[in-house]
Amino acid sequence: MPRQDKAPDLRRPVIAGNWKMYKTGAEARAFFEQFQPLVASASHCDIIVAPPFTALRVCVEASRSGKIAIAAQNMHWQPEGAFTGEISARMLIDAGCTAVIIGHSERRQLFGETDESVHRKTKAALAAGLTPIVCVGETLDERESNTTEKVLSRQMQVGLAALTAAEFSRILLAYEPVWAIGTGRTATPELAADAHRHLRALAAAQFGSESASALRILYGGSVKPDNIKGLMAHEEIDGALVGGASLDPKSFAAIVNY
């Protein structure tokens, strides 16, 4: 169904860039110098950039216009403590962040994150006043064995079920099929939309139909300037979480200005 059929302003689009473990402070500053003028007239969507921890402050300072929100890529659920190498929501807020990515598939696959840790982190982020960008998605094996919906249901139920409806209304959900991340293999808009529909149905069952229809679901997985338009044309796709293509100011601006 084309996007114009959707109630206007119900779900404002979001384009978010996840820089992963790329860019020093100087490189982040250079990115913003080039990027900001290219998106100066973009008023159709929210823009988020998630740099590594060491570049957070530089990005917060560079985006003082307030047009671009700065997110972290991870956090711990405790406010402080003996947790070497970790960082808390309070610290992210202190650095000027307003959002945080939680449960990215690289965190799940490489660093042992689970649906339970996603749940704890999401609760803590919300309690601190951050917007959690909660990532869900199936692996290639799971898709090929026809368990995509089961996996998404488990990730939603364990990761988010214990939220209140008011808390749920503050999250962004990112559907990121693992087989599409960094592989150049994008899901078709229809395939992504099927998954989004399933996630929205789960949200309706857990939090009611009003919450579900207001939920913004971003697609992530090899989003590029040449496929963003097709993805965003679909009424189920409310935005994109972009990895590789968000590192270059011109390509990320082309995605923002789809």
Residues that bind ligand PEP (CB under 6 A): 18, 176, 181-182, 220-223, 241-245
Q: Describe the crossing of helices 189-207 and 148-160 by its angle, rounded to 10 degrees.
A: 40
User: For residue 228, with 0-12 CB atoms within 10 Å meaning exposed, 13-18 middle and 19 or more buried, which class applies?
Assistant: buried
Nearest residue to ligand PEP by CB is 243
For residues 93 and 247, which CB has a smaller minimum distance to ligand PEP in the complex? 247
Residue closer to ligand PEP (CB basis): 134 or 223: 223
Closest contact distance (angstroms) between CB of 211 and ligand PEP is 24
Closest by CA position to 118, among listed 91, 92, 136: 136
The residue among 21 and 82 lying less far from ligand PEP, judged by its C-beta, is 21
Catalytically annotated residue among 76, 104, 196, 234:
104
CB of 220 to ligand PEP, least distance (A): 4
- Closer CB to ligand PEP, 66 or 184, in the complex: 184
119 is catalytic: no
* Distance of closest approach, residue 174 Cβ to ligand PEP, in angstroms: 7
Q: How far is the CB of 88 from ligand PEP (least distance, A)?
A: 23
**Nearer Cβ to ligand PEP, position 18 or 36?**
18
Q: Which residues contact 99 (CB under 8 A, 6 or more apart)?
A: 16, 48, 50, 69, 70, 71, 72, 130, 131, 132, 133, 172
Inter-residue contact 119 to 159 (CB < 8 Å): yes
Give the residue from 4, 9, 15, 3 showing the smallest Cα distance to 174: 15
**Is 196 annotated as catalytic?**
no
Nearest approach in angstroms of CB 20 to ligand PEP is 6
DSSP for 160-217 reads HTTS-HHHHTT-EEEE--GGGTTSS-PPPHHHHHHHHHHHHHHHHHHH-HHHHHH-EE
Catalytic pick from 138, 142, 176, 236?
A: 176
Provide the annotated active-site residues. Answer: 104, 176
